[in-house]
Amino acid sequence: MYKILVADSLPKHILEKYDKSKNITVDNKSGISKEELMEILPEYDGLVVRSRTKVTADVLAKGDKLKVIGRAGAGVDNIDTDESTNRGIIVMNTPGGNTIAATEHTLAMMLAVMRNIPRANMSLLDDKWDRKTYIGNELFEKTIGVVGLGKIGYGVAKRLKGFDANILAYDPIVSKELADRIGVKLVELDELIEKSDIITIHAPKMPETIDLFNKERLEKCKDGVVIVNCARGGIVNEADLLASLDSGKVSAAALDVYSSEPPADFTLAKHPKVVATPHLGASTEEAQVKVADMILDQMIEYFEKNVARNAVNFVSIDEEIQPIIAPYFELAQRLGKLFNQGKQGHLKEVAISFYGDTINVPVEPISAHLMVGALKSAETELINPVNALAICRDREISIEIAKKDLALTSHTNLIACDFKTDEGFYHFAGTVFAKDQFHLTECGEFTCDANLEGNMLFVENEDIPGVVGQLGLVLANYNVNIGHLSLGRLKDKKDALNVFNLDSPIGEGVINELKTVKGVKQVYTAEI
């Protein structure tokens, strides 16, 4: 039974819809305080928040069972995503759920500030008829700079074309083909700043975008530019914007977001050249229902099918691909375990290569499963596929992932991995022989065809007659049955590798006796 805690307000009928799901309960604790949240969080597998609840590191420390955090909305800056990743907790959001709401709010704010609508309305409420003071400006044929062409920026740009505006756009990852589709000209940020009459911001908040519009960039703008920010607070430096409004460099601003919410100081929001709203971009009845429905649907899908749609800190796997990729998750983890049990020294570098059909599925999550096997121990229980690659980065373990078109051996679909420690080098390769059969095809320099499961015994020896028989006799004397045997040879070096799958584990006494067999060089075991 999985338990989901809802910390912020969601529509009642949506909560009732999902609380009927099999093996999952949804507890509505809307408005819960941080202290109350920390007290009851250890009971829950999932947590749903909007923007009110701050999921900080100290909150996460209480989530002993927490597997997934769902944000009913797009922005996740109220969630410590790095700490969530370190703890192996998936963070997912609902991109697109409030796209229309945020798009329309941006246009409303732009029109309101250009036509002085809020202050003209306030004038009438004071029984004044003052048309001259509130003369505005048109959007028609204005040059409008759109910073960020994601779903919302794209929607804003598309609708602004209906005003016959000239649209410039800056987005470092968007293709020219996408921009051309709606008649938008892609430019560098400096050009957009220098040429735009109005600048509307639709970028995510991240280290690279904090204070993106500071004193230096605002000074490069056209005299009398209008700034619209309905994206995230902190992208526009508020002190610098206030100074630019006072100087007249910026003629007006429309703001829906602030560096702290609610603002510690309302001076900017109250400025006579500013139209301000309290983060209403996603606040429509339709959007609130849509994102609530989406996030609970996604979380339940994760618990029931292990599919993490819209995860922001993990590669999401489509339900259709899940049956295809799941066996490779298992294969990778087994290869990692094989290394983990035989390694000497501290891991420094890993190279993972994918061959055959494996190159057609997402390889990063497969690599994450391999590293879970390679790193996990009794002291590292927090390691899972969500945080494995991040933990490698923290430990300065270099990971190289490559896709290869040609098969490495006669096996078509293969995962090969090279591990380098400060004391040695280890190479393994494996394949999925059938849905639940995993074979080790390479071990060091040797090729083999061993079952990658159960109690495994590896014996490296001189390639001379009689060794295999003697090894079998030792095992028989200890009443150990051999389930499968694979032999690999290096004819030029006259060396051989014997990989035994045993029906039971063997102790130190058996291993020591195996080492006494003539020609044996090395003996080691693994339990997969």
Q: In CATH, what number is assigned to the domain containing residue 396?
A: 3.30.1330.90
237 and 151 assigned to the same domain? yes
475 and 509 assigned to the same domain? yes
What DSSP element (H or E) covers 470?
helix 467-477
Angle at 397 between CA 394 and CA 399, to 5 degrees: 115
269 and 396 assigned to the same domain? no
Print the domain residue range for 383.
323-527
74 and 183 assigned to the same domain? no
124 and 205 assigned to the same domain? yes
> Along the 528 residues of the chain, how does pLDDT read in single tens digits?
899 999 999 998 998 888 767 788 999 999 999 999 999 999 999 999 998 999 999 999 999 999 999 999 888 889 999 899 888 899 999 988 889 999 999 999 999 999 999 999 999 999 999 999 999 999 999 999 999 998 899 999 999 999 999 999 999 888 888 888 889 999 999 999 999 999 999 998 888 899 999 999 999 999 999 999 999 999 999 999 999 999 999 999 999 999 998 999 999 999 999 999 999 998 899 998 999 999 999 999 889 887 888 888 887 777 677 778 889 999 999 999 999 998 888 999 999 999 987 788 889 999 999 999 999 875 555 688 888 888 888 788 999 999 887 655 566 789 999 999 999 999 999 999 876 789 999 999 999 999 999 999 999 999 999 999 999 999 999 999 999 999 998 878 789 999 999 999 999 999 999 999 999 999 999 999
Q: What number of other Cβ atoms are within 10 A of residue 186's Cβ? A: 18
Spell out where 58-140 has E strands. Answer: 68-71, 90-92
281 located within any domain: no
Residue 388 burial (C-beta neighbours within 10 Å; 0-12, 13-18, 19+): buried
313 located within any domain: no
490 and 381 assigned to the same domain? yes
Angle at 482 between CA 480 and CA 486, to 5 degrees: 140
Is-above-0.75 flag for pTM? no
296 and 202 assigned to the same domain? no
How many domains are there within the chain?
3
410 located within any domain: yes
312 located within any domain: no
Backbone phi, then psi, for 231, in 5-degree steps?
-95, -80
Annotated catalytic sites, by residue? 232, 261, 279
Residue 93 burial (C-beta neighbours within 10 Å; 0-12, 13-18, 19+): buried
Q: Name the DSSP class of 481.
A: P
User: CATH code at 113?
Assistant: 3.40.50.720
Q: What number of other Cβ atoms are within 10 A of residue 194's Cβ? A: 15
Residues 281, 105 contacting (CB under 8 angstroms): yes
142 and 206 assigned to the same domain? yes
317 located within any domain: no
165 and 83 assigned to the same domain? no
66 and 130 assigned to the same domain? no
314 located within any domain: no
343 located within any domain: yes
Q: Cα dihedral angle (318, 322, 324, 328), rounded to 10 degrees?
A: 120
397 located within any domain: yes
186 and 261 assigned to the same domain? yes
Residues 225, 196 contacting (CB under 8 angstroms): yes
Q: Of 76, 74, 77, 111, which Cα lies nearest the Cα of 94?
A: 74
223 and 103 assigned to the same domain? yes
Say how far apart CA 218 and CA 241 lie, in whole Å. Answer: 8
Using DSSP, state whether 445 is helix, strand or coil.
coil
